[in-house]
Amino acid sequence: MDWLRDHLWETWLGVAIALALAELVSLDLFLLMLAGGAVAGVLAALVTDDVVVSVLAASAAAVLLLGAVRPPLLRRLHGGPDLVLGPASLVGKRGIVTEPVAEHHPGRVKIGGESWLAVAEPPASSIAVGEAVEVVSISGATAHVRPVSDLRLEEPR
C-alpha cells in the first residue's frame, strides 16, 4: 500500500494510457471515457496522496463522461444522411409526362431518363403529355405522380 501511495499518479497515468490504447481496438468510446476518468485520478493524486479520493474522483469523472459526453459524441459520429437506394430515391423528383395519365388509365412519365408507368395521385382528371409532374411515391413499378405546374416542359430525349 505504501508503494501505491508513493506512485499513485504514475499508476493512474499508466491506467489512462492502457485504456486509451485499448480504445484503439474497440472504437466504441467507452474505454476512452474511462481513460478520461483515470486522468482525473492523476489530477486528484497530484493534489492529494489519498487513494480513496483519487478513486472517487476517477469514478465520478468516468461516470460524468459516460453519461454526458459519450452519447452526443456517438450521435455525431454515427449520424449522417439517410441513404436511399433504388426506386425510393425517385420520390420527390420531377419528371415529364410522355403518355397521358387519366383518372382510370395509367400513362407513362420520364423520370431521371427512365420511363415509368404512372398513375395520378390524388386522382386527377388527366395530365397531358409534356406536363411536369412530381413523384409522390413508388409502388412496385408504378410511379404515383401529381402535376406541379401549368408550365409545359420540353420532352426529354
Predicted pLDDT at 30: 96
pLDDT of 1 > 80? The answer is no
Strand partners, 97: 109
- Domain annotation for the chain: domains and CATH numbers: 2-78 (no CATH), 86-152 (2.40.50.140)
Please confirm whether the linkage preceding 81 is cis (ω < 30° from 0): no
Amino acid occupying residue 134: E
How does residue 149 score in pLDDT terms, banded at 50, 70 and 90? low
Single-letter amino acid code for the residue at 144: H
- Cα separation, 57 vs 63, whole angstroms: 10
The answer to whether the pTM exceeds 0.75 is: no
State how far the Cα of 119 lies from the Cα of 102, in Å rounded to an integer: 8
Q: Over the stretch 48-98, which tens digit does the pLDDT of each residue have?
A: 989 999 999 999 999 999 999 999 999 888 877 777 888 888 999 999 999
Q: Classify burial at 127, counting beta carbons within 10 Å of its beta carbon; exposed 0-12, middle 13-18, buried 19 or more.
A: buried
What is the C-alpha radius of gyration for the chain, rounded to an integer number of angstroms? 31
